[in-house]
Structure 1
Amino acid sequence: MKPSSSIEATEYYFKQLFADQGDFQSKQLIIGGKEYILFYFDTLIDSSLVQEFILSPLLLRPQDAVRDVVSILDYTETDQLNEAGEAMIFGKVVLIRNGESTLYVLGVDLKKERSINIPTKERVLRGSNEAFIENIDTNINLMRKLINSTDFIVKTYTLGRLSQTKVAVMYIKSIANATIIEELDRRLQSIDIDYVESPGFVDELIREKKFSMFPQLLVTERPDRARAYLMEGKVVIGSAGSPDTIIIPVSFWSFFHSSDDYQISWPLGSVFRILRICCFFIAIGLPAFYVAVNDFNPQLLPINFVNTLQSSVKHVAFPPIAEALSMMIMLEILREATIRLASPIGQTIGVVGGIVIGTVVVQSNLVSNTMVIITALTGLASFIMPSYEMSSAVRLLSYPALLLASWLGLLGLAFFFMMICIHLCQMHTMGFPYFTPPFSFGDAKDTLFRAPIWSLRKRPAGTAPSNRTRLSHPRSWKR
């Protein structure tokens, strides 16, 4: 709808449109014999910016054109009333002058955001101490400071019919695969939803395997980690209102990588990475293995160990499957309690609750000593993974593994891991394989272990980057 040259008609339109809005304001001014009206939401604008960059210049030069007087960068003109109304919701001021049909949209929105702080969910021993915040523009600023190149591309989308959430897609043009960018653009453009709350919404709306428990997008709050993946040809997605960004496409092995791996010597980084992969199998299969060897296959263990195991469960009232399930559920309850409560109370509940419950259930002959040790080791193995999403998936997968082991013994556990492997091999992210077994040295040297930096001459082939060459002559100083 186009505005009328009558200032009263335009004022009537906006007052009718925002009649129920308690913070909507209109201010009428007479400057140099000309009538002006400002429309705005007083909770969204910075009044000092209005005074300094709009009103003061108009008072000094009332006869000049508005575009020549207003000294503000975020300046646009429109002849559509609905566009001006939507702009006000984003913190803009709409200025009209009597006798003109042009609407001047001026950006003076109030900036309220927390300061850039240290990462709280991805703490590392070495590396950057900056973390993303809820303001998407600040997050883009952090990334542009880390990547000073014209090849660094930022595309913005507006998702959510009601929320109008700003989503930013970032990638390196000379490295990223164009097919991935096109496919991601197609999926984002097809999203039709009322509101987008966080990158988790985008994750579920663009992922391929809707019912898989394995995470298909990597979540990070660290700008330096996001930059590292951008340099491998991946894409980073951030949204307004969330300090988390998501990285696509990623492989199964990406969830075992930590920023610390590249800040320490490569032998240590390799050992820690292999340890995390081993803990993946421990967290899923250790309780199931305990039940299997206790009920089905005790002959697989040394006789001394079998005697110790049998003596520990001799007076226990429940079968091994009930032991394992009760202790694993108790571990989940303690974990949720420590997360949801305030930090000092949560830490106390975690320590005291673990000690008290562990001691009482053993003394009451409800659970064996061995089961308490296995539960503790299983929990620690799941927490060692750098990705919270993968850690949660591992804990959930341990339950079906436990049930199959209680039914078929070690055969059931082997069948479960075979089904997991088949499922992973069938998965794709953005059209690229999610799980590629690292059978060759070239595939394994930055997946199963961390090879020296000077040997990582090629970028990972999993996402088919347009430029695979990372290093040409890394040690040219040596002759």
Structure 2
Amino acid sequence: MNPSVSASEQFFYEQFSGQSDFQSKKLLIGGIEYRLFYLDTLIDSSHVQEFILKPLLSKPLNDVREVISILDYEETNQVEEAVQAVVCGKTVLHRDGESKLYLLGADLKKERTINIPSNERILRGANEAFIENLDTNLNLMRKLVPSTELVVKTYSIGRLSKTKVAVMYIKSVADPSFVEELDRRLMSIDSDYTESPGFIDELIRDKKFSLFPQLLITERPDRARAYLMEGKMVIATSGSPDAIILPITFWSFFQSPDDYHISWLLGTFFRLLRLACFLLTIGLPAFYVSVSSFNPQLLPINFVNTLQSSLKYVTFPPLIETIAMMLLLEILREATIRLASPAGQTIGVVGGIVIGTVIVQSNLASNTIVIVAALTGLASFIIPSYEMSSAVRLLSYPAILLSSVFGLLGLAFFFMLIFIYLCQMSTMGQPYFTPPSSLSGIRDTLIRSPIWNLKKRPAGTSPYNQTRLRHPRSWKK
């Protein structure tokens, strides 16, 4: 690099031509010329004044490293690296006659405070959530896991966005083969712009066209810690308040942090309820179409009479009214989410009551399908994962179509296809839908076993350190 400040100034101006927030300040201190390069929209001017200019004015002839008391301090001989540092919010200092540039961290930090989780509300547990600042999120995780075993590896992904990505895992627990595979997949990403979690999810997942989520997304640091302790890995990125957990299994999407803060009997009941709602969300609308059109003999005679009387004056056949009501449910859900909170709640309540009543009174749909649609929506909302809940609701549509053609046989065939598909899926080489065929496999999948009985970690993700609990209830003689 040319040691002249005028040469470096010319290069910076070429790189930042036409950008009004780029600043180049000339300073003459003790007979030595200095140049400061920065973007004034990214730096904190008070920090520059206090920790850069004032020390230089007091000791102009001393070495820069000895004078400036900034922890975020780097040196480089590459002017291209200095340009990238300016873009990232650093201040670049060039001393005339020296070939090196000083990269000084004086960036303006604007971030929202740590708040309660908004999408994963639970009754018990910590009330802290990740925010958009990656350093703050790593700080939360370091405090929750104060151990040298917690490894944090950072990546810069995206040619233009330079998105900072951090991968966390417990060195003595995580499977090294999973860590190496994740590193290979992240390093292979070559794009101009990367956003998390959606971009990273689609770029590293095994099945590109699978409807089922293959990565678990969370905004809770305590939940991320719990999965780290099981041997899994956590991906966090700058600009996103969500973290990605992997490798994950089908059963993890039905687990909630609440399960471990209440009695294990209650935790087991709620977990079984969520799994039942998974089947209910997919099968209930299809079952309605089937018994309305093909198999009414499967129901008690009184129920059949009630069902037939409600369908007597309905304009459309069961297939059309069922799909229409399911789509109406999705429209109301989206309207509730997208609108402001008070207006969204009003739309959800008033829209559901008014539209449902008018549709029934106009004989466009029966009373029964309104009940079926409401139960289907409620059942899907019980599932803790938004991604799994959305996938399950979408699966109900092909089930409805098959039931409209083949009746209950079509519904049974569709469930068989789903379970076959789940059994052949994998994430990071780990089976996605490993059936809990043994007692140890059931303990934290179908049921929530007592804490003192969860002595082993999942065998798939931590083969080298499976011991989680060594002496449970050792106080009891």
The CA distance in 1 between the partners of 2:162 and 2:5, in whole Å, is 29
Q: Once the two structures are superposed, what CA deviation does each residue of 1:402-445 show, in whole Å capped at 9, x if it has no partner? A: 00000100110011001101110111100000001112221111
**Distance of 2:435 and 2:398 partners within structure 1:** 24
Rounded Cα–Cα distance in structure 1 between residues aligned with 2:305 and 2:150: 63
Q: 438, 442, 445: which is aligned to 1:440?
A: 438
Question: Residue 301 of structure 1: CA displacement?
Answer: 1.3
Of 213, 216, 222, 2:214 maps to 216
- Map 1:102-141 to 2 at 5 A: 102-141=100-139
TM-score (norm 1): 0.99
* 1:400 equivalent in structure 2: 398
Give the Cα separation in 2 of the matches to 1:96 and 1:387.
51
Further displaced range: 351-360 or 12-21 = 12-21
- For residues 476 and 105 of structure 2, the distance between their equivalents in structure 1, rounded to whole angstroms, comes to 56
Whether the 8 Å CA contact 2:92–2:102 is kept in 1: the answer is: yes
Q: Which residue does the alignment assign to 1:101?
A: 99
Alpha carbons 1:226, 1:247 under 8 Å: kept:
yes
- 2:75 aligns to what SS in structure 1? strand
Aligned to 1:163: 161
Match for residue 256 of structure 1? 254
**Deviation of 1:19 (Å):** 1.3
Task: Please say if residues 232 and 465 of structure 1, whose CA atoms lie closer than 8 Å, have aligned partners that are also in contact.
Answer: no
Q: Give, in angstroms, the shift of residue 12 of structure 1.
A: 1.4
For residue 463 of structure 1, report the CA deviation from its aligned partner.
Answer: 2.3
| Structure 1 partner of 2:311 | 313
RMSD, aligned CA: 0.8
- 2:149 paired residue among 148, 151, 166: 151
Q: Tell me, what secondary structure is at the counterpart of 2:97?
A: coil
Aligned ranges for residues 179-190 of structure 1 at < 5 Å?
179-190=177-188
2:3 to 2, 5, 10: 5
Q: Is the 8 A contact 2:230 2:462 kept in 1?
A: no
Cα offsets for 1:286-334 (capped at 9, x unmatched): 0000111111111111112111111111121211111101100111111
Matching residue of 1:454: 452
The alignment covers a number of residue pairs equal to 477
Aligned to 2:386: 388
Matches within 5 A, 1:6-155: 6-155=4-153
Structure 1, residues 326-384: CA drift from partner, whole Å, max 9, x if none?
Answer: 10011111111111111101100110010011111111111111111001000000011
TM-score, scaled to structure 2: 0.99
Q: Conserved in 2, the CA contact under 8 Å of 1:239 and 1:245?
A: yes
Regions of 4+ moved over 2 Å? 462-466
The residue that corresponds to 1:466 in the other structure is 464
SS at match of 1:329: helix
Work out the CA distance in 1 between the residues paired with 2:437 and 2:420.
16
> CA shift at 1:394, angstroms?
0.5
User: 2-side partners of 1:149 and 1:381: how far apart?
Assistant: 40
Q: Which runs of 5+ in 2 are unaligned?
A: none
User: Which shifted more, 469-478 or 12-21?
Assistant: 12-21
1:97 shift after superposition: 1.2
Q: Is the 8 A contact 2:173 2:462 kept in 1?
A: no
Check whether the contact 1:39–1:94 (CA below 8 A) recurs between aligned residues: yes
Are the counterparts in 2 of residues 251 and 462 from structure 1 also a CA contact under 8 Å? no
1:205 aligns with 2:203: yes
- Matched with 2:410 is 412
Residue by residue, what CA displacement relative to the aligned partner does 1:86-116 show, whole Å, maximum 9, x if unpaired? 1110011111111111111111111110000
Gaps in structure 1 of 5+ consecutive residues: none
Equivalent-residue separation in structure 1 for 2:143 and 2:42 (angstroms): 28
Determine if contact 2:197/2:243 at 8 Å carries over to the other structure: yes
